[in-house]
Amino acid sequence: MTPQGSAESPSRHTQLWSERPKRRARRWVGIGLAGLFSLIAAWLILAALIYSPTYVIRVLRMRESSQADYLTQFPTRTLHASTNPYEYPVAIDPDAERRLESAFGTTDIGSFLQGTDSQALLVITDGAIVLERYANGASRDTMLTSFSVAKSFDSALIGIAIDEGLIGSVDDPITDYLPELADRDPRIADITISHLLTMSSGLDYAAMRWALFNGDDPLTTYHPDQRSVALEAATRIVEPPGQSFQYNKYHPQLLGMILERVTGMTITQYTQTRLWDPVGMQYDGQWTLDSSEHGFEKMEAGLNARPIDFAKLGSLFLAGGQWNGTQIITQEWIEASVAPDPSRDQPRHYRDDFGKWIYNDGRGWYGYFWYGRARASSDHDYFAEGDHGQFIYVSPATNTVIVRLGTEYGLDPSDWIDAFYEYASK
């Protein structure tokens, strides 16, 4: 007699045999995943040993930096509001809003700002505020960060240091001020301050590399010792200086180190005494630091301020460096910072993708950490630009300064510039 249930036994055995390959596959998948996790762990440990645990944690946590990261994730030094604050007169002009709406192709500037992740849009003409709008939770006293608009402040500080005789000229080799570089590679002595300001040093810069942590964008953004990484980067020469444009965020850091040495001050102290106080900044600002331990200002992107105070850098340049009768920066420096170089072969010089955007069919150029935009007259427009759509746009032809700040571009970057240009053309 067949035992009860024995008729089902063959099918159970068959099922068990058929599941054995699946179990083996799952086992190998588990082994593979364990191996992958081990490799990732080893990679992270190695990166932490080579760079620092702080750096690795910052890269993994923040990835692409945001407004909030610069305002909350780094230590800062305070720029104190001026004891003699300057307030722009207000002359709100409804026509200014209509012209901006026309330039942006909208019929509602408020909805446009909300929909483009904008936080602030200010227009100052003939020294008076003609439009001042805020969106997405921001207001006049909201602290916002600059991203690369900070570089244009850096440029102003270099000009002031030259005016004061602390730096000889833009033609000085950087090894005059960073002599420790002279012994690393004799070619570094050919790199001048001007080459750093115009992004044409010939130094290597790769925003991202295969191992992530060795990319220059994360290193210049998140490494807690920016002085050391900038000095190391200054040894990676790929071509003679002056040949071509290459956007390089080590340049402002090297210039920051030069400023520290010639002034004997922190960048925050020099900014406070040479810009913040003299132009009457109404609110406290901040310089973001690489770390509490090293305390070096993040020259490439770390200036935080209120929109109305960002506008004052544009107004200072528009006024030829003069503020309330005091010459803060020389007219000569202003002109040199924003003027095109007629001797430059534009297509050959701006040959990378970012540079081609600047070149823009011959209508643009890069000065001393300022972008230029040609007009038919000699009164060319110029602007400071930062990631996620931070702009200080200056149009001497119409005596206008435009400030836009936001959490994201919301538009193609060139669309902002074209709209500002169109507005200032009418």
In whole angstroms, how far apart are CA 78 and each of 46, 142, 266, 305, 327?
35, 15, 12, 10, 25
Which has the closest alpha carbon to 251: 222, 216, 218, 275?
216
Residue 64 confidence (pLDDT): 84
Residue type, 243: Q
**pTM for this predicted structure:** 0.90
Contact present, 217 and 246 (Cβ < 8 Å): no
Q: Cα separation of 134 and 352, whole Å?
A: 35
Contact present, 164 and 320 (Cβ < 8 Å): no
Provide the pLDDT confidence category of residue 170 given band limits of 50, 70 and 90: very high
Other C-beta atoms lying within 10 Å of the C-beta of residue 316: 21
Provide the pLDDT confidence category of residue 376 given band limits of 50, 70 and 90: confident
**What is the mean predicted confidence (pLDDT) over 344-349?**
89
Q: What is the per-residue pLDDT across 20-52, written as a single tens digit (0 to 9) for each? A: 666 666 666 666 655 666 666 665 677 677 788
Contact present, 323 and 278 (Cβ < 8 Å): yes
**What is the mean predicted confidence (pLDDT) over 76-92?**
97
Query: Does residue 302 or residue 51 have the better pLDDT?
Result: 302
Sheet strand arrangement including 285-288: 76-79, 285-288, 303-305, 144-145
Residue 151 confidence (pLDDT): 98
Contact present, 297 and 287 (Cβ < 8 Å): yes
Q: What is the per-residue pLDDT across 126-148, written as a single tens digit (0 to 9) for each? A: 999 999 999 999 999 999 999 99
Residue 13 confidence (pLDDT): 61
Other C-beta atoms lying within 10 Å of the C-beta of residue 180: 9
Residue 226: φ, ψ to 5°: -70, -30
| Mean pLDDT for all residues in the chain | 91
User: DSSP letters of 173-195?
Assistant: BGGGT-GGGTTT-GGGGG-BHHH
Helix ranges (DSSP H) in 137-215: 149-163, 193-197
Query: Does residue 367 or residue 35 have the better pLDDT?
Result: 367
pLDDT exceeds cutoff 90 at 273: yes
Residue 5 confidence (pLDDT): 47
- Which token pair is 137? 């939770």
Q: Cα separation of 146 and 30, whole Å?
A: 47
Provide the pLDDT confidence category of residue 357 given band limits of 50, 70 and 90: confident
Q: What is the per-residue pLDDT across 398-419, written as a single tens digit (0 to 9) for each? A: 999 999 999 999 999 999 999 9
pLDDT exceeds cutoff 90 at 9: no
DSSP state of 419: H
Q: What is the per-residue pLDDT across 215-241, written as a single tens digit (0 to 9) for each? A: 999 999 999 999 999 999 999 999 999
Q: What is the per-residue pLDDT across 308-321, written as a single tens digit (0 to 9) for each? A: 999 999 999 999 99
- Which token pair is 135? 């969106």
Residue 223 confidence (pLDDT): 96
pLDDT exceeds cutoff 60 at 10: no
Residue 1 confidence (pLDDT): 46
Which has the closest alpha carbon to 228: 287, 174, 180, 189?
180
Residue type, 407: T
Residue 31 confidence (pLDDT): 61
Q: Cα separation of 346 and 116, whole Å?
A: 32
- Distance from chain centroid for Cα 194: 19
Which has the closest alpha carbon to 301: 72, 54, 70?
70
Angle among Cα 298, 146, 314 to the nearest 5 degrees reads 115
